[in-house]
Every structure is written in structure tokens, then in C-alpha cells.
Chain A
Amino acid sequence: MKPFPQPGAVTLLVTIVITCVLLFLFQKMSWLVLPVLVALMAYYCLRPIVDALVVRGWSHGTAAKCVWLVFQLLTIALLLAAVLLLAAKGGTWQSNLDRYLAGGQNLLKQTAGSLERFVPRFQRMKLATLVDQRAQEFTGRFVEKNLVPIAMLMLKWLPSLLLVPYLTYFMLSDSARLKKYLIKSVPNAFFEKALLLFSRLDASLQNYFQGLLLLTLLDAVSLSLGLAFLGIGNAIWLGLATAVLAWIPYLGSAAGCVVVVLVAATDFPEKPWMAYACLILFLIVRLLDDYVYLPLTVGRKLHVHPLLSVLMLFLGGMAAGATGLVLALPLFGVVAVIGETVSQIVTDSRLRARYRAARHLAVSGGWT
């Protein structure tokens, strides 16, 4: 397929505005947007497996059913394992959380103490005491302030997340029919453009989601290797969790970094440099991510200029908070493809004339 044409200034501006409006609306109906997004991600990751089975002679329906079934069984097995683990460690979660928060508090106190030794002004301010006081205030109320709302939020999301398997199944088995159904409603004059649009949207979304997964894998491997090299326990799980958190631009990365630093500070209370080393590792992986992995995976496929990517992330965050940060780039990619196709139709006088003539023929044909 040919590379996507570059949009003009007006098309670009309209694309940005429409993306922001859609992000704002999506935030209002996030109960539906989130499961659709997760289902889309599952669909684009499972579709190559279905295609591979079709190439080996399976019928599309059977391949879709089998792949979906295996995916569901794996998900259920993982969820069951997580529930069993939670139940087994139920009593220790609270104490573990307290331990890690205390580890973080200790690290902050040690860092402030070191700063006091080197900068007399901080000593006069009694920075270490001040930081310790603030940290105690924060950690003392952390559980009651955050844990219960987080648990409530997870319960609220559970019903809509149950939609994911259904949506994934229908996407895998019926996407071609849905596409045919949608194309049917397009007037003859715009039919070929509409087909091209669908094909490009499909390619954009597939590239985005597959690129995102590859990026997550690269991040997880880099972080896990780095953490294992430093001697941090559970390096693989920590690397994987922080790589998944990075799906939320900036906020997710920062949260992942905090988690890793807290673990290092708690597991090695006498070696604060371990926490700093983790921080440096995190910054290196972020730089690798931004300048090597991202352009090689998601960026190369979406054809979005880096400056525009950053602008869209800021605008997305302003319009729809964390949802906006997650959705800004893929949605911008989709709206850009639609905008480009619509602008081609709007500016093509021949196509519009053909559409008007066809409507006239249909009306006059109906009367005769």
C-alpha cells in the first residue's frame, strides 16, 4: 500500500480539533470506550493467529472460535491465579504496602539528610525534618485516602470489562461482515474511497496496537534485564508491570518509576544508591523508549511528527485527563486518516458531481 498522503494545514487543524472533541466525549462514556479499546487491542493481536490458521487451511469461523476460546481460557487461568495469590497473601498486603511506603519515606529522609550535608541552606531549613514530616503525613493517610477509592473504582469497571470477551469474539468472527454492512450504506460515487479509508484505518489501528505491544515487550525486557543486573527481586514482574503502566504516557511512566524506586529503597534500606541506580535505569529506558523503541515500533507506522505527538498528548491530557493521554495518539491517527479521505472527497469536484448525478438518476428512475 502506498504511504498515507500528508494532510494540509486546514485538514490538520480540523483533525486536531475533532480529536480533542472526541476525547472529551469519550471521557464521558469511558465505561464503553475502555472495553472497546481493550477488545481492539486483543483483536489486532489475535488476528494474525487467526490468519495464520486460515493460511493452514482452517475456515475463518473455526479459526476465530478456537483462537478466542484459547485466549479466554488463558485469561481465566491468569485471573484465577491472581485471585488465588491475593487470597493466599490477603493478610500481608496491608503490611507490605506499609513496608514499601516506609522504605520510600526512609529513602526521602536519607536523601534530604545528604542534601543538608552538602548545602548549608537546606540545613538551615531543616530539610530532612520537613521532608520526614510531610512523608509521614502522606503515608499515614495513604491507605484510607487512596486504597478504598481504588478498590471501588476497580469494582465499578468490572461490569464494563466483562464486555471485552464478547466484543473480541465478534470482532474476530464478524469484522469482514460488519465492514461490508457499513460499506453498503456508502453512495456509489464514494464507494472506492470508502473502501480505501477502511483499509487504511485497519492498517493504522493494526500498526498502532501491534507496535504498542512490541514496545511494551522491549520496555519490559530492558527494565527486567536492568533490574536483574542490579539485583532487585522479582525483576521480570516489576519490568512487565512498569512497561504496561507506560501505556499511559508520562503519568504511567512516573508511577512505574515510583514503584521500582520504592521496591529498591525497601529491599535495600542500607544502600540508597540502589534506588538511585533504579532511577537512572528508568531514565535510560525512557530515553531508549522515546528515541529508539518508539520510532522503531509505533511512531514509524503511524506517520505522526514527534512535535505533533507531544502536542496531541498535551491537548489530550487537557481535554480528557488520563483517558486523553492514552487515546490521544491512536485517535489522532484514526481521525487523520478519515480527515484526509473526507478532504479528498470534498475537494474532488468530479466525485461530488457524480454523486449529485447519481442521486438525480435514482430519483428520476423512481418516478418512471
Chain B
Amino acid sequence: MKFFGGNDPNDPASRKIATLKEIPIFQPLSRNEILEVDELLHERIYEKDEIIFEEGDAGHGIFIILSGKVRVKSRCKLLDAVAPEFGPGELLGELTLFEEAPRVATAVAVERTVTVALFQAEFSALLTKNKSIGVKVLFEISKIMGRRMRRLLLQEADLPSV
């Protein structure tokens, strides 16, 4: 019942490895490391206009978009202004990967969207069990968080002062 099978590039398993390999946070991982991570990923499919998570929800992990498009809305105007839409390869809800905290935005599928979710508890277990994979993924997530923070800071600098 393995999600990934042989080395045939056309079989669904190899196609999915290739898809995961295109995601920035998994790019530094080897094929075997991706297989290990895949054990922890939960694939979810959202229809157009379906809510993925809602602002104020208790968050327990991140969603990585494989295909489709997700729009993010927030009561926080700054966030609303800088992060309207996310596409394939991008991740959502990264703040809750490190702390069980309420979601700061609502994510809605703009079109039929396929995501994989990584649960906080399972990510913590990965960090303990396989530090090599955990550190690589964590480093990539940190880079994304850094870029997003920089965007927010630049956006705030551009906002007219009240």
C-alpha cells in the first residue's frame, strides 16, 4: 500500500515524487527522504470556494498547495494587502507549525485545489527522529517566513501613516 512505487517516471508514485520535489521546502531532500516525508503528508482536495481554514480556528499544521489557487483574507489589513493569493508550491499556515495558535487569516480555494497538510505533532516527531530531513525542511520554511516578514515590513513602510 505504498504511496510511491517503482522508478517508472509515468507511474502515479513517481509523478507525485516529482511534484513534491518541485515544492521549495522539499527541494533539498533526496528521493528516499521525500518518501519518508510523504508518510507524514495528508492529501486534501478542496472544491472552488471551499474554506481550507478560518481566521480564529485553532491551527495544528501547514498546508502546501500542489495544484490550484488559494485566496487569503484577514481582518489584519496589512496581511490582507500583501498576501492575496497563493499558488502551487506555496505553503499556508506556517505559524501554527511551531505553536498551536489561532489562525490569523481565512484561506479559501479559488479553484479546485489539491494540498498536502503537515501536522504539527508529526513534524515535531520528524525533527526528533530524522534530524537531517527535519533541519532541511525547517531551514526552507524559515527562509519562506523570512521573505514573507520582509514583504510585510516593506508593505508597512509604504503604507501612509495615520
Chain A residues within 8 Å of B, Cβ to Cβ: 1-2, 51, 54-55, 59-60, 174, 176-177, 180-181, 183-184, 188-189, 191-192, 195-196, 199, 350, 354, 357-358, 361-362, 365
Which chain B positions have C-beta within 8 A of A2? 100
Question: For A2, A188, A189, A196, which residue has the most chain B Cβ atoms within 10 angstroms?
Answer: A188
Contact yes or no, A357 B51, CB < 8 A: yes
Contact yes or no, A192 B47, CB < 8 A: no
Asked whether any CB of chain A lies closer than 8 Å to the CB of B26, the reply is no
Contact yes or no, B47 A361, CB < 8 A: yes
Chain B min CB distance to A358 (Å): 5
Partner of A361, one of B40, B49, B58: B49
Asked whether any CB of chain A lies closer than 8 Å to the CB of B61, the reply is yes
- Which residue of A has the minimal Cβ distance to B130? A54
Contact yes or no, B47 A51, CB < 8 A: no
Quick one: which of B33-59 are within 8 Å of A by CB? Answer: 36, 39-40, 42-54, 57-59
Quick one: which of B118-140 are within 8 Å of A by CB? Answer: 119, 121-122, 128-131
Complex alpha-carbon distance, A361 and B3, angstroms:
28
Partner of A60, one of B36, B51, B119: B36
Which chain A positions have C-beta within 8 A of B59? 192
Query: A55-B128, A195-B42, A199-B121 given as contacts; is B47 within 8 A of A177 (CB)?
Result: no
Chain B residues within 8 Å of A, Cβ to Cβ: 1-2, 32, 36, 39-40, 42-54, 57-61, 100, 112, 117, 119, 121-122, 128-131
- Interface CB pairs A-B, < 8 A, 25: A51-B129, A55-B128, A55-B130, A59-B36, A60-B39, A176-B39, A176-B40, A177-B1, A180-B39, A180-B42, A181-B1, A183-B42, A184-B43, A189-B51, A191-B117, A192-B58, A195-B60, A195-B119, A195-B121, A196-B60, A199-B119, A350-B57, A357-B50, A361-B47, A362-B47
Contact yes or no, A361 B50, CB < 8 A: yes
Contact yes or no, B61 A192, CB < 8 A: yes
What secondary structure prevails in chain A residues at the interface with B?
helix
Contact yes or no, B1 A358, CB < 8 A: no
Complex alpha-carbon distance, A55 and B43, angstroms:
26
- Which residue of B has the minimal Cβ distance to A364? B47
Complex alpha-carbon distance, A359 and B60, angstroms:
23
Chain B min CB distance to A299 (Å): 23
Which chain B positions have C-beta within 8 A of A362? 47
Contact yes or no, B48 A188, CB < 8 A: no
Query: A174-B1, A199-B119, A361-B48 given as contacts; is B42 within 8 A of A191 (CB)?
Result: yes
Partner of A188, one of B44, B57, B131: B44
Please provide the 10 A-B residue pairs with the shortest distance between their CB atoms, ordered closest to farther.
A361-B47, A199-B121, A195-B119, A54-B129, A176-B39, A365-B47, A192-B60, A358-B50, A354-B51, A361-B50
Chain B min CB distance to A363 (Å): 10
Chain A min CB distance to B136 (Å): 15
Complex alpha-carbon distance, A184 and B42, angstroms:
7
Chain A min CB distance to B60 (Å): 5
Partner of B57, one of A60, A180, A192, A199: A192
